[in-house]
Structure 1
Amino acid sequence: MTGTTARRWGLLSLLAINLALTAGCSGKAATTRYAASSLGDSCYAKALPTVGEGGLAWGSTLNMARKKSLNNCIRYAGRSGGTPDTCKVVLAECKN
C-alpha cells in the first residue's frame, strides 16, 4: 500500500511539473514565429492538384512564391494520396 501511494504521488508530481512548464511557455514561440514569417515576404502563391492537398507559400518575389507553392503542392499531394503531377498555381500576387 505504501509503495502504491508513493508511486501515485510521484506521478502526480511529474504531471503537475509538466503542466506548469507547458503553460508557462505555450504561446511565446508561436507568436514570435508567425510575426517574423509575415514581415519579410510580400508575395504569395497557391498551387492545387486535381486530387489531394495543395500548397500555399510566401516569397520575396512572385516567381519565388510560385516555385515554393508548386513544390509544396507536389509534396502535400503525394502525402495525401493525391496526384502530384497535376499541381498548378491557381493564385499568385504580391501585397503592397
Structure 2
Amino acid sequence: MTVKNTHSHSTRLLLSLLAVNLAMTAGCASKANTPRYASASIGSACYAKALPTVGEGGLAWGDTLNAARQKSLTNCIRYAGRSGGTPSTCQVVLAECKH
C-alpha cells in the first residue's frame, strides 16, 4: 500500500514557487530603470498576485518587485478575510516587471 506524503508534496511546491520567484526577481534586478517610451514612465513597473487557499486574492502594482509583492500579500489578506476565505494561507503566485 502506498502512503502519500502531503508534507513532502507541499514542500516541493513551496520550493518550486520560491525558485520561480527568485528567477523572476533576478530578471527584474538586471533591468535598467529607464523607460523605453515616454508613456512607460507613468505608473508602476512591477506587479504581483497573491492567492489564498480559499477566498479572494489580491493583485497589486509597485515601483519594485518587492513593493508589489508586499502590497499583493496585504490585499490578499484583506480580501480573503472579507470573502470568508483563509487569509493566513495567502501566497504570491505571480510577480514580474514590465520590460
TM-score (norm 2): 0.58
Task: Please name the residue that 2:68 is paired with.
Answer: 65
Q: Which runs of 4+ in 1 moved over 4 A?
A: none
Q: Partners of 2:42 and 2:57 in 1: how far apart?
A: 23
Residue correspondence of structure 1 range 4-43 to structure 2 within 5 A: 39-43=42-46
CA RMSD of aligned residues (A): 1.3
Q: Partners of 1:52 and 1:72 in 2: how far apart?
A: 12
Task: Please name the residue that 2:34 is paired with.
Answer: none
Unaligned runs of 5+ in 1: 1-37
TM-score (norm 1): 0.60
Fraction of identical pairs, as percent: 83
* Corresponding position: 1:53 with 2:56: yes
Secondary structure, in 3 states, of the residue corresponding to 1:71? helix
Q: Partners of 1:88 and 1:64 in 2: how far apart?
A: 15
Q: Partners of 2:53 and 2:89 in 1: how far apart?
A: 6
Unaligned runs of 5+ in 2: 1-40
Q: Partners of 1:39 and 1:58 in 2: how far apart?
A: 12
Aligned to 1:86, which of 79, 85, 89?
Answer: 89
Q: Partners of 1:68 and 1:51 in 2: how far apart?
A: 19
Deviation string, structure 1 residues 11-66 (Cα, Å, up to 9, x no partner): xxxxxxxxxxxxxxxxxxxxxxxxxxx92201000000000000000000000000
Number of equivalenced pairs: 59
Q: Partners of 1:39 and 1:49 in 2: how far apart?
A: 30
